[in-house]
Amino acid sequence: MDTFKAVLSGFLVTSALMFAAGWAFGLLTAPTMRGEYNTPSLLTAILALAYTSAAIVAGAYVASRIHDSSETISGFAVAQAFFGFGLIREFWIGGSSWPTAVAVLLVIPGTLIGWALARRFGRTRLAGAA
């Protein structure tokens, strides 16, 4: 049950960050552009990929801090890859594009980075407390 809670918590953190980015993009985009298909510029796509990676790392970090196990990280990666807010939805609804395909491929490295950060900072805090 701890694994499920950790995966769900990490998934919700990542989804909230992705939702906030979509909301901010909606506020910053001119009303005539909403609903139309537009190809992002290279800089916009790279910025979106960097933000997506950071959101995945944050979610994996939270999941690992709640319950540090290989099952938690595997569950988080699978949940994010198949149900991630803004990743797969954009891939199937908006049509495949290189930024979306790369974003799906960032799930596993982002998850591993978040897990490594959680293990490193978790170990440092426990060693300092002793």
3-state secondary structure of 68: coil
Tens of pLDDT along the chain (130 residues) come to 899 999 999 999 998 998 888 777 767 665 555 555 556 677 777 887 888 889 999 999 999 999 989 999 999 998 888 777 555 555 555 555 666 677 778 888 999 999 999 998 876 554 444 4
pTM of the shown model: 0.77
Where are the domains positioned within the chain? 2-26+41-129
Strand (E) or helix (H) holding 10: helix 2-28
Question: What is the residue-wise DSSP string for 107-125?
Answer: HHHHHHHHHHHHHHHHHHH
